[in-house]
Structure 1
Amino acid sequence: MTVPPVAPEVVPAVLDALPPRLRKRIDGALDRAREWGVEVVGDAASVRIDADTVLSWTLHSGVLISADELVCSCLLAPKCLHRGIAVAVASVVEGQARADVADVVEQEDDVVAGERRGERAAAEVLWGACAEILRVGVTGSGAVVRSELLRAVHGARLVGLHRAAAGGVRIATGLAAAKAGASSFDRETVADDLTEVMLVCHDLRSGIGDPVALRGTARREYQPVGALRLYGLCTEAVLTSSGYAGVVTHVVDADRTLWTVPSVYPGGAERIVIAADGPVAMGETGLSHRQLGRSGLVLSGATAAPDRRLGAGKAVRAVAAAGATWDEQPVAGLWDEPLADQLTRAFHTGQDLLFLSGVVSGATKTALRLRLDTGDIDLLGATDAARDNLRLLGERPGMPLRVVARLVPDRPTTAVALAAAGELAVTGHVDLTIDRLQRSHLPPGVPAAPLPAPAVEPPPSGLLATVVDRVVLGGRPVAALPSTTRDAATLARAGLTATAGLLDTLATTARTRARDPFGRAIPDPTDAFPTAWLTAALHTREFARATVRLSWLPPEQGAT
């Protein structure tokens, strides 16, 4: 079994206790943890490392929340390598703020110009930790760099910067995955998380934007929404890189407003089926999530978060009711919204579901090709079941299909398919991420051969985006390579002078280094390079989203 997860503040607390000689050895010793057979009994965990050494954890809801509750029996404890390895390889859990943390925030309600005391300083520290990751890259970010990031995360949480703190935990998780060589590591995801956290820190430091939105919330706040008559739409599997899994059921009310009913808990992919067939934690409906996606609910005393996630408080009363198929109102009305309006909603709000009607034109090895009135789009699968289902559907070109999908904002004409309905021998729709289609469910016909993979043309700003992502992996030296200057010249010749200027600025700040009298580079504490990287990352993100929006619609619609 792997070592128990830890709270963010535990990692720096343990590593700070190590003498410098042991701290330098942490990264080279992490492989030792693979041989540990950790045993968990209730709220206690332990592992016998050798005949004389036992490492013990005292857990709270399965998580180590204090450095003092990690105890080693070796002679060097608590300044031993065993404790350092245990927290360095552990996953980090962004738990709820403890009572003492909440008290600190409450006591700092004296707000000056919209800013709580300590926010700007905490944002500065977190900015600096992220900037250091950019300077050395993910490959150079060992346990000490990750520890400093988690220290900054804890400081941000103490002053109520929950949005930045949550992003910092995601970055730390990505660093750990990269160090372990895990398949879950994705440099583009880490780049997106760095962009998000650094942008929030930049705005907090500069006094830009709405402080309330920049702070975020520690707990999801549920507000009364009254009585609701809901109709099941579909059920979606959830599997996160931060160690959570389960399902979310999407429902719609009589006004065609979308709501969600989640069942997501710590665990792996095995939790998806358990959650799908498990009870809906709302009243005593007797419905599973899989059943709710095809039936209905009547709620009284309903509560919901701002993102329309329904609460399951004690005052909520729920009764099972008849549902509506995708051909019946109010569910059918979701497909009446023009595609241009759906895209505007998906790009500018958190409601990113698309309701698409088209004809199957085939499937590649990775996607189902669906022909809309505006042209062909690619539908991807988020789970193995979804990918297999899409390949089967692609064997019947010409088959009409209705799809619920989630927009992929950085890939042209691409969405992730969640559910589908068509001329299939099934009742109602298919939840693509959890159900399994068989060939017997398809209409009669000869299976069509897979389509060739489409030729993927890089976006016009691709040269800048490539450097932005490579900096995340390799650090500052990557942006200083001579090839960056050539790429900037290529962009300028293509007429993208603004993009070329950003790439040139990134390269210039990467090469500008102060040196001591002996010619050795001096660590650069300024914000010039991190700011240049953040500006370039934001430019590539917005450029890509504008390109994607235009790819979905004919020129006359895309211009509106």
Structure 2
Amino acid sequence: MTLPPVAPEVVPEVLDALPPRLRKRIDGALDRAGTWQVENTDTGARAVLDADTTLTWTLHSGVLTVADGLVCSCLLAPKCLHRAIAVAAAEVGETSVVVEEVPVVEGDPVREDERAAAGALWAACAEVLRVGATASGAVVRGEVLRAVHSARVVGLHRAAAGGVRVATGLAEAKAGASSFDRETLADDLVEVMLLCHDLQTGVGDPTSLRGTARREYRPVGSLRLHGLCTEAVLSDTGYAGAVTYLVAADRTLWTVNAVLPGGEDRVMAAANGPVAMGETGLTHRELGRAGLMLTGATASEDRRLGAGSGVRAVAATGAGWDASPIADLWDEPLADQLTRADGLLFLSGAVSGPTSTALRMSLNTGDINLLGATDAARDNLRLLGERPGMPMRVVARLVPDQPATAVAIAVLAPLNRPGHVDLTLDRLQRAHLPAGEPSPPLPTPRPEPTPSSLIASVVQRVVIGGRAVAALPSTARDAGTLARLGLAATAGLLGDLASTARDRERDAFGRVVPDRTDAFPVAWLTAAVHSREFARAEVRLSWPLPDGQEDEDTDEG
């Protein structure tokens, strides 16, 4: 058994009890946790470290929710290194224990206690930027989790959830985990810090900025829906299952989810399992090809359908991809689809051929790359790529950081089998392909470096190495390169980042004075947001759009 997960507020509480000499030793001692044998008990868990030392966890719903629930038998307890290691090396867990939150009325302006909590989370994330993820030890991570708890108490649920992701990324970076991705951590920091900035300055809708502790489902009346497709879900955060997409008569997309904690084995169980809504008698895979009639329906803001006791659902006749309303989805201009990049793409074209990664698809105006999210999807796409010229309709999801690239979810093609193919769940055989000779793989083009990649690389390097990285001469060289390309605004942001990183005060003895101002964090956030939007604009412009559909806003900066 691994270390039991801990609630965010427990980590700083345990670390605060340590004397300074032990606090400095935490990061170097975290590897010890890998040798502990943790066993389940009736009340939680237990680990015998040596003849004189035993750690005992009292858990609630499998999570350590209070510091007093972790007891060590050594002489230094509770101010001992054993307890600190146990919380610092553990994952942050969700708990069912209710936190007494300040009541919030929808539409109320941001309160002072919310601004203070947002400021504390901003300060914790700013410290991560100053020292870098690799140098952000247990104490820095503990401060992030302390701020997470403060945000949760006052009802800032979006900020708290983002702070937990940042803390998780820091733990993965420190441990050298294969799951760590510097781009993901950078994105999480941008989201949290931008949210904290808006909360402190009062910019935006307060209700949206606060978020909700749990997904809220509201009545949406009666619906007549048609199944579009079903997709497997297997996330890095430990969740797996399936999601089915449905289409209403007005072309609005709705989803039915069956995603729970679990691994790869949960995917097919969810896809072939019953839809937990009314008395449909359908599995998720069947629903993706059938229809649904709902009364008393409820849905969240992102149109995820609820399965409450008041919802009545029965199976109905579905519509094929060549019939309305599903066929109407392909009428939307590609430029409009790319603008609403948070949704699905509906592409129509022909197979160009297979590549080493998946498949090249030819639209009327040029080629794009289609990738698969799972092994099954990649195998299916490579097989479809053996029939160049074969017409296809594809439901896909935009890849926001790769030119002219999308992740294919489902395909309709003239195959020797009925209906569309759910690429992540179905398995095509060569017998399903129409007659023809296999096509050799097409060369995979080497991605060319883009101007936005220069600033994105600096932004991400700062996340890893901290403020000192931005002060390196290479940052000034990158700014000069951007200026020579005519991207003066982008070069200026990179120059500001470098100058604020170097702007350090020193005392009378020449020692660097710790900088707690917001000049450097603000410069980094500005550069990061600009980099993100610049990259998205580059991706949109990389798609082969018909004449008259080009992006009107192509000016840099």
Q: TM-score, normalised by structure 1?
A: 0.93
Kindly state the Cα deviation for residue 281 of structure 1 after the two structures are TM-superposed: 1.5
2:198 maps to what in 1?
203
My pick for the range that moved more, 503-512 or 60-69, is 60-69
Confirm or deny that 1:558 pairs with 2:553.
no
Kindly state the Cα deviation for residue 174 of structure 1 after the two structures are TM-superposed: 1.1
Q: Which deviations, in whole Å up to 9, do the C-alpha atoms of 1:29-76 show, x marking residues without a partner? A: 222222334334676233333344433333333322222222333333
CA distance in 2, matches of 1:42, 1:408: 47
Amino acid at match of 2:254: W
2:515 maps to what in 1?
524
Amino acid at match of 1:378: N
Kindly state the Cα deviation for residue 555 of structure 1 after the two structures are TM-superposed: 5.9
**Structure 1 pair 508/555, CA: closer, same or farther in 2 (3 Å)?**
farther
Amino acid at match of 2:24: K
1:101 maps to what in 2?
100
Kindly state the Cα deviation for residue 131 of structure 1 after the two structures are TM-superposed: 0.6
**Structure 1 pair 259/381, CA: closer, same or farther in 2 (3 Å)?**
same
CA distance in 2, matches of 1:277, 1:57: 38
Kindly state the Cα deviation for residue 13 of structure 1 after the two structures are TM-superposed: 1.8
Q: Which deviations, in whole Å up to 9, do the C-alpha atoms of 1:353-379 show, x marking residues without a partner? A: 011111111232223211112311111
Amino acid at match of 2:34: R
Q: Which deviations, in whole Å up to 9, do the C-alpha atoms of 1:323-356 show, x marking residues without a partner? A: 222222222221222212222333xxx4x10111
1:510 maps to what in 2?
501
Q: Do 1:404 and 1:417's aligned partners in 2 also have CA atoms closer than 8 Å?
A: yes
Q: Do 2:61 and 2:95's aligned partners in 1 also have CA atoms closer than 8 Å?
A: no
Match of 1:376 among 367, 370, 373: 367
Kindly state the Cα deviation for residue 130 of structure 1 after the two structures are TM-superposed: 0.6
1:274 maps to what in 2?
269
Q: Which deviations, in whole Å up to 9, do the C-alpha atoms of 1:253-303 show, x marking residues without a partner? A: 222211011111122333222222222221232322222212222211110
Q: Which residues of structure 2 form unaligned runs of 5+?
A: 553-557
Q: Do 1:43 and 1:62's aligned partners in 2 also have CA atoms closer than 8 Å?
A: no
Q: Which deviations, in whole Å up to 9, do the C-alpha atoms of 1:470-517 show, x marking residues without a partner? A: 111111111111111121111111111111111111100011111122
2:298 maps to what in 1?
303
1:235 maps to what in 2?
230
2:66 maps to what in 1?
66
| Superposed counterparts of 1:426-465, under 5 Å | 426-465=417-456
2:163 maps to what in 1?
168
Q: Do 2:43 and 2:59's aligned partners in 1 also have CA atoms closer than 8 Å?
A: yes
1:9 maps to what in 2?
9
1:541 maps to what in 2?
532
| Superposed counterparts of 1:126-525, under 5 Å | 126-346=121-341, 350=342, 352-525=343-516
Amino acid at match of 2:460: D
Q: TM-score, normalised by structure 2?
A: 0.94
**Structure 1 pair 19/395, CA: closer, same or farther in 2 (3 Å)?**
farther
Kindly state the Cα deviation for residue 519 of structure 1 after the two structures are TM-superposed: 1.8
**Structure 1 pair 559/517, CA: closer, same or farther in 2 (3 Å)?**
same
Q: Do 1:170 and 1:242's aligned partners in 2 also have CA atoms closer than 8 Å?
A: no
CA distance in 1, matches of 2:172, 2:326: 41
Amino acid at match of 2:203: I
Q: Do 2:107 and 2:206's aligned partners in 1 also have CA atoms closer than 8 Å?
A: no
Q: Do 1:233 and 1:331's aligned partners in 2 also have CA atoms closer than 8 Å?
A: yes
Kindly state the Cα deviation for residue 204 of structure 1 after the two structures are TM-superposed: 1.5
CA distance in 2, matches of 1:41, 1:90: 18
Q: Do 1:465 and 1:540's aligned partners in 2 also have CA atoms closer than 8 Å?
A: yes
CA distance in 2, matches of 1:213, 1:536: 24
**Structure 1 pair 73/483, CA: closer, same or farther in 2 (3 Å)?**
same
CA distance in 2, matches of 1:182, 1:265: 23
CA distance in 1, matches of 2:320, 2:395: 13
Q: Which residues of structure 1 form unaligned runs of 5+?
A: none
Find the residue that maps to 2:100 and give its secondary structure: helix
My pick for the range that moved more, 55-64 or 472-481, is 55-64
Q: Do 1:374 and 1:554's aligned partners in 2 also have CA atoms closer than 8 Å?
A: yes
Kindly state the Cα deviation for residue 309 of structure 1 after the two structures are TM-superposed: 0.6
Find the residue that maps to 1:115 and give its secondary structure: coil
My pick for the range that moved more, 358-367 or 500-509, is 358-367
Q: Which deviations, in whole Å up to 9, do the C-alpha atoms of 1:434-493 show, x marking residues without a partner? A: 332233332233322222221312222322111111111111111111111121111111
**Structure 1 pair 313/15, CA: closer, same or farther in 2 (3 Å)?**
same
CA distance in 2, matches of 1:445, 1:148: 62
CA distance in 1, matches of 2:395, 2:474: 43
Find the residue that maps to 2:548 and give its secondary structure: helix
1:90 maps to what in 2?
90
Confirm or deny that 1:123 pairs with 2:118.
yes
CA distance in 2, matches of 1:385, 1:48: 44
Find the residue that maps to 1:261 and give its secondary structure: strand
2:30 maps to what in 1?
30
Q: Do 1:110 and 1:117's aligned partners in 2 also have CA atoms closer than 8 Å?
A: no
Q: Which deviations, in whole Å up to 9, do the C-alpha atoms of 1:189-225 show, x marking residues without a partner? A: 1111111111111112222222222111212111111
Q: Which deviations, in whole Å up to 9, do the C-alpha atoms of 1:507-534 show, x marking residues without a partner? A: 0001111112222212110111100000
**Structure 1 pair 284/3, CA: closer, same or farther in 2 (3 Å)?**
farther
2:555 maps to what in 1?
none
CA distance in 1, matches of 2:495, 2:349: 44
Q: Do 2:71 and 2:78's aligned partners in 1 also have CA atoms closer than 8 Å?
A: yes
My pick for the range that moved more, 155-164 or 3-12, is 3-12
CA distance in 2, matches of 1:446, 1:43: 64
Amino acid at match of 1:214: L
Find the residue that maps to 1:557 and give its secondary structure: coil
**Structure 1 pair 488/386, CA: closer, same or farther in 2 (3 Å)?**
same
Q: Do 1:171 and 1:194's aligned partners in 2 also have CA atoms closer than 8 Å?
A: yes
The CA RMSD over aligned residues, in Å, is 2.1
CA distance in 1, matches of 2:449, 2:59: 48
**Structure 1 pair 163/327, CA: closer, same or farther in 2 (3 Å)?**
same
**Structure 1 pair 95/228, CA: closer, same or farther in 2 (3 Å)?**
farther
**Structure 1 pair 380/204, CA: closer, same or farther in 2 (3 Å)?**
same
**Structure 1 pair 157/513, CA: closer, same or farther in 2 (3 Å)?**
same
**Structure 1 pair 80/465, CA: closer, same or farther in 2 (3 Å)?**
same
